[in-house]
């Protein structure tokens, strides 16, 4: 512990800590000085006795220049740099330094490149550029709003660079938070000529896809082609997921498999730079990617050459293009709620204490349980997040975003993100995890599911849907059943879930509109549904659990709202009971094509359910008003759910979904004639009848 630390925490407020090992922590006075012969005495406002230090709160001058470096000197002659701390989170600081320009980062031109870094508390910034083995350094100029600038003459198309930032008495080498790419393992940021990337011609998708028309399929770039049975030339890369024509015997794999399912959107686990996989030796580490290091730089372990900054950018764009060519839209999973590490991040290097949340004692908020929370409510942090969303959409032409731990962000930021995304793509999907996490942001400002009414059009993963139908997911709740896994007491709650939780009493209302409900039975997190049934249905044989799996799939696809399918659920995917496989390796996480072959009939059942949802628009009602008007819901015989959709379209007047989660065979006679369009194996009947059989453990769909 140093003998003394000094912080500027507000205009006119300086906090000093003196170690008890230094004169018992006692000092008779404090002064502020600078290298420009500035000297002013500070007034001791109050003193607090701490176990190892004494804390002094001092009053000083309010007009300090943020372009200067100050020292705090105490009565015994000890002097330390004055660090800009909590002052950067004040309203007055933001009013003085918020920059509304859109030119931060490295902006390439053929004859010059303009560099701009927002670092208002820095006392100096040096730009170090490397090109063709030669290193040049440029002293940057401080300009308006604390933006440091330098224009470097010459063609820097293949140059890399870092910033050397002097602040708080130290010099930090830093990447550029606005950089579009970097060298391997984030050593240096790269200048990118985007005209090189624009030569990769995209395949724009025609047609309008609104929220409830979407069917989302979640997978990972690495997992989708990691298995050697995938048949791709390479594995676990952007390029591998771009390959066409791969299969295992009669089952398409990789890109062709995704295209065969009938889903509308592929949601990819994080593809932007993350910290814990060695980009040069990716097989030695595995991680899902929820440990962000750079937000605009694609992950190098997914590229053909991590040291070629253009490779990762071009190959991500080419992969999105390949998915678009197959008629698949692309949503990216983004992680703005925290970073892998505050220390050493480009944000902390540039403006310490600004981009992350701290309490009044300067202790970091940790609602993410990853050591830090990104301060999305700070104006320049919000501006950055919105900028990243815009640039990713412009460069890579992605179609939407899933926000990890979205409840840690603020509602205003999410609304600005959606507004920006819709300006670029009117069909853009914005949704995320609205869990209410214990961050220091006031609860009424959090982008949590309880505040969904403050974020119209933003979707939320509906844990009510998941827990009611499958059963709860936590390890200590793995024996808890849901409606489709054997708890008939959840039958009435299933009616609320199937109506996207938009109906009032007696149902549970959570959302204003159905597109806000993202209906996932399982995601990459927690156990797979199949593994959960090892616990909650462990006394049942495999054939019985396969029937339950099909029920889970059907209910997820036919419910109002937005269906969400986790990769592998359609073939009873297992992670060998690993409930948190974020770093468990390829053997656990990869697509198991042999298992897909064994369970090909369930994959085909899933395809038939998807085709039926596409065919009948009644499964895709757009508004809560339509759902209130057209849904008729009931429970029969204590366990059978009747889910009627009175929607005249597609040549029919009504859809009737019947769900039997029991072991009892049921049969029903109705006044009207119905035609079964989905039976236990997903097939349809050509005949109409007033009599409908409802076998055990199944979902039957009829129309009239």
Catalytic residues: 404, 433
Contacts of 86 (CB under 8 A, 6+ apart): 7, 9, 10, 353, 358, 360, 362
Question: Could you tell me the two tokens for 568?
Answer: 């592998």
Question: Could you tell me the two tokens for 485?
Answer: 């896994």
Helices and strands (H, E) in the chain, number of each type: 16, 32
- Helices 379-396 and 411-424, packing angle to 10 deg: 30
| Cα 149 to Cα 138: distance, rounded to the nearest angstrom | 10
Question: Could you tell me the two tokens for 238?
Answer: 């952007």
| Cα 291 to Cα 273: distance, rounded to the nearest angstrom | 9
Q: Quickly list H helices, 101-142.
A: none
348 with 314: CB under 8 angstroms? Answer: no
State how beta strands 400-403 and 429-432 pair: parallel
| Cα 295 to Cα 289: distance, rounded to the nearest angstrom | 12
- Terminus-to-terminus CA distance in the chain, angstroms? 77
Residue 499 to residues 517, 519, 551: CA-CA distances in angstroms?
10, 11, 17
Q: By three-state DSSP, how is residue 254 classified?
A: helix
How do the residues of the chain divide into helix, strand and coil, expressed in percent and rounded to 5?
A: 30, 25, 45
Q: Is the peptide bond before 17 cis (omega within 30 degrees of 0)?
A: no
- Helices 254-261 and 600-615, packing angle to 10 deg: 50
Burial 410-420 (b: 16+ CB within 10 A, else e): bbebbbbbbeb
Which burial class, exposed, middle or buried, applies to 650 when counting CB atoms under 10 A from its CB (0-12, 13-18, 19+)?
A: exposed
| Cα 659 to Cα 643: distance, rounded to the nearest angstrom | 8
DSSP conformational letter for 427: T
Question: Could you tell me the two tokens for 145?
Answer: 């709003």
| Cα 635 to Cα 643: distance, rounded to the nearest angstrom | 9
DSSP conformational letter for 681: T
Residue 604 β-bridge partners = none
Count of C-beta atoms within a 10 Å radius of residue 670: 13
Q: By three-state DSSP, how is residue 235 classified?
A: coil
- The strands making up 640-645's β-sheet, listed across from edge to edge, are 631-636, 640-645, 655-660, 698-703, 666-678, 688-694
Q: Quickly list H helices, 569-648.
A: 586-589, 593-598, 600-615, 624-630
| Cα 355 to Cα 374: distance, rounded to the nearest angstrom | 6
Q: How many CA atoms lie within 13 A of 586 on its CB side?
A: 16
Q: How many CA atoms lie within 13 A of 577 on its CB side?
A: 8
- Helices 309-325 and 254-261, packing angle to 10 deg: 40
Q: Which residue has the tokens 């409930």?
A: 579
């Amino acid at each position: 512990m140093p003998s003394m630390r000094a912080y500027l925490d507000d205009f006119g407020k300086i906090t000093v800590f003196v170690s008890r090992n230094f004169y018992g922590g006692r000092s008779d006075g404090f002064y502020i000085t600078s290298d420009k012969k500035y000297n002013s005495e500070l007034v001791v406002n109050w003193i607090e006795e701490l176990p190892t230090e004494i804390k002094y709160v001092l009053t000083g001058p309010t007009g300090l220049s943020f372009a200067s470096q100050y020292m705090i000197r105490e009565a015994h002659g000890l002097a330390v740099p004055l660090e800009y701390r909590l002052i950067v989170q004040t309203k007055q600081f933001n009013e003085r330094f918020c920059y509304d320009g859109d030119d931060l980062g490295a902006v390439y031109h053929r004859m010059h490149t303009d560099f701009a870094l927002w670092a208002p508390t820095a006392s100096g910034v040096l730009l170090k550029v490397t090109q063709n083995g030669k290193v040049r350094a440029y002293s940057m100029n401080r300009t308006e709003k604390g933006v440091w600038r330098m224009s470097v003459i010459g063609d820097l198309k293949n140059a890399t660079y870092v910033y050397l930032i002097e602040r708080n008495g130290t010099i930090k080498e830093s990447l550029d938070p606005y950089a579009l790419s970097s060298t391997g393992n984030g050593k240096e940021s790269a200048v990118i000529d985007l005209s090189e990337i624009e030569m990769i011609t995209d395949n724009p998708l025609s047609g309008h896809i609104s929220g409830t028309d979407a069917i989302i399929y979640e997978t990972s770039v690495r997992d989708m082609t990691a298995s050697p049975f995938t048949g791709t030339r390479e594995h676990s890369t952007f390029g591998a997921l771009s390959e066409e024509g791969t299969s295992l015997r009669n089952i398409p794999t990789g890109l062709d498999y995704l295209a065969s399912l009938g889903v509308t959107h592929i949601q990819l686990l994080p593809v932007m730079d993350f910290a814990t996989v060695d980009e040069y030796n990716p097989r030695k580490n595995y991680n899902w990617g929820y440990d962000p290091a750079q937000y605009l730089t694609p992950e190098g372990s997914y590229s053909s050459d991590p040291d070629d900054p253009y490779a990762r950018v071009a190959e991500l764009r080419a992969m999105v293009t390949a998915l678009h060519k197959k008629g698949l839209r692309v949503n990216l999973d983004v992680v703005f709620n925290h970073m892998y590490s505050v220390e050493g991040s480009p944000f902390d290097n540039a403006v310490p204490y600004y981009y992350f949340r701290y309490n009044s004692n300067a202790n970091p908020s940790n609602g993410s349980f990853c050591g830090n929370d990104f301060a999305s409510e700070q104006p320049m942090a919000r501006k950055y997040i919105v900028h990243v969303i815009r640039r990713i959409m412009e460069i890579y032409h992605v179609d939407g975003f899933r926000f990890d731990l979205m409840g840690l962000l603020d509602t205003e930021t999410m609304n600005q993100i959606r507004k920006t995304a819709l300006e670029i793509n009117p069909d853009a999907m914005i949704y995320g995890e609205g869990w209410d996490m214990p961050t220091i942001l006031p609860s009424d400002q959090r982008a949590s599911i309880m505040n969904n009414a403050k974020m119209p059009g933003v979707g939320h993963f509906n844990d009510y849907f998941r827990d009611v139908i499958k059963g709860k997911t936590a390890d200590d709740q793995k024996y808890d059943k849901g409606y489709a896994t054997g708890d008939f007491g959840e039958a009435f709650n299933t009616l609320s879930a199937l109506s996207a939780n938009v109906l009032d009493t007696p149902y549970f209302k959570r959302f204003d509109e159905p597109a806000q409900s993202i209906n996932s039975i399982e995601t990459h997190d927690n156990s797979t549904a199949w593994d959960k049934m090892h616990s909650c249905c462990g006394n049942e044989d495999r054939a019985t659990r396969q029937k339950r799996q099909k029920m889970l799939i059907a209910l997820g696809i036919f419910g109002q709202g937005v269906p969400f399918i986790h990769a592998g659920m359609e073939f009873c995917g297992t992670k060998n009971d690993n409930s948190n496989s974020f770093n468990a390796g390829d053997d656990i996480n990869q697509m198991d094509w042999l298992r897909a072959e064994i369970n090909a009939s369930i994959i085909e059942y899933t395809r038939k359910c998807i085709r039926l949802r596409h065919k009948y628009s009644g499964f895709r009602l757009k508004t809560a008003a339509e759902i209130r008007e057209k849904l008729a819901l009931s429970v029969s015989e204590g366990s059978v759910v009747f889910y009627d959709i009175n929607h005249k379209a597609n040549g029919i007047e009504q859809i009737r979904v019947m769900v039997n989660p029991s072991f009892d065979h049921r049969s029903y006679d109705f006044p009207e004639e119905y035609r079964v369009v989905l039976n236990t194996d997903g097939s349809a009947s050509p005949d109409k009848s007033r009599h409908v059989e409802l076998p055990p453990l199944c979902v039957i769909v009829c129309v009239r």
